[in-house]
Structures are given as C-alpha cells and as structure tokens.
Amino acid sequence: MGNYQMNANGSYLFGLLGLAIMLLVSSVLALASAGPVNAASAPYTPHFAALKSDEVHVRKGPGRKYDILWTYRSLGLPVEVTAKHEHWRRVRDSTGAEGWVYFRLLSALRMGLISPWKKQKITISLFQKASAASAVVVRLESDVKVLIKSCRSSWCFVTVGGFKGWIEQAKLWGVYPGETFE
C-alpha cells in the first residue's frame, strides 16, 4: 500500500515521507492560486497566513537592511501575523519564534499544523463527521500540515493528501480558540 499503513481499527496511518510528498504537490497547486496577504485581504492583526514559498528569509526588522535571522524552507507553513509595517509583516511560528517577512511571501490560505506542541510524535484522528463518535478517516502524525477549509464550534474541516475530514480545533495550530469561518 505504499506510504500508508492500516492500523488495527481499519483506518490508515500516513508515513511521514509519503504525506510530505503528497502535501507538497497539493500545497504548490493551492498556493499558486492564492493571492498575497495585503491590507485589502487581511487588514487586521493578528491573523494566520501561510508561507507562499519554499524559501522565506526571516529578518530582524521590517526591511532588507535588517539581518536575516533564519530561512524557512517549508512551503505552506502556517504563521501568525502579529504586526505590520509598510510591506513587511512580523510573523510568529508554532514554536514562538518571531521575525519579519516581506508581505508577498505570505498567502491568505489557511494552513494548520497537527499538535506541533507535542514533544513526542503522536497520532491524531481525522473523523468523517464533526464528532469523535464518527468513523476515523485517517490518523495523522503531529507536525503534519493540513489545509483548513472551515471551522465551526470546536471542529475544523481539513484536507491532507487526498483525505478530508474533521479534526478537533484544539489539536490544530493555525486557528484561534473558538474561531469560526467558512
């Protein structure tokens, strides 16, 4: 079955490499069609965005004159925009690291990470319906990127690697507690 493993209860468990490859292909296609985050599309802070490139330099301040602190190499990585200065956005990632990136390197696409705060790898269930009593579609490892389509109540509808389903909002980084959107 390639990069999938069926567990004891009949749901699939993604291998990390297979999931990464499938997600990269789907993310590239989705991100290519998404416009940049700008004052018209997201005039408020804070808000979540996603990296629109597989190489994004994070700077110490809002401009090219500031030193590069590090470089993200993760297309579609969700970040929280915490401040704006002209064409620059201060972002924070799931680890709490902050720095400034050029606004055109951000997408309004809503991406999320599965339980990135867990110290050890765990698996989280993606359900057929917005209920833990419904059938499990797939089990995802922590730190896997998902595309968030909508959130309501305490559940979010997501897609990843051709699978779609519902995940408890509290198990995602990339949405605010109680946030709803379609």
Q: What confidence category does residue 173 fall into, taking pLDDT thresholds of 50, 70 and 90?
A: very high
Instruction: Tell me the pLDDT tens digit for each residue of 83-103.
Output: 999 999 999 999 999 999 999
Whole-model pTM over 0.85: no
Measured between alpha carbons, how far is 78 from 109 in angstroms, rounded to an integer?
A: 9
The amino acid present at 115, given as its one-letter code, is S
Q: Which of 24-33, 36-45, 60-69: highest mean pLDDT? A: 60-69
Identify the CA nearest to 50 among candidates 35, 66, 69, 62: 35
Instruction: Tell me the pLDDT tens digit for each residue of 41-63.
Output: 456 789 999 999 999 999 999 99
Residue 4 has pLDDT above 50, yes or no: no
Report the pLDDT value the prediction gives residue 176, as an integer from 0 to 100: 95
Report the pLDDT value the prediction gives residue 3, as an integer from 0 to 100: 39
Question: Could you give the domains of the chain?
Answer: 4-29+113-173 (2.30.30.40), 35-108 (2.30.30.40)
| Tally of CB atoms within 10 A around 153 | 9
Residue 54 near residue 75, CB atoms below 8 Å: yes
Rounded to the nearest integer, the mean pLDDT of the chain is: 84
Report the pLDDT value the prediction gives residue 170, as an integer from 0 to 100: 96
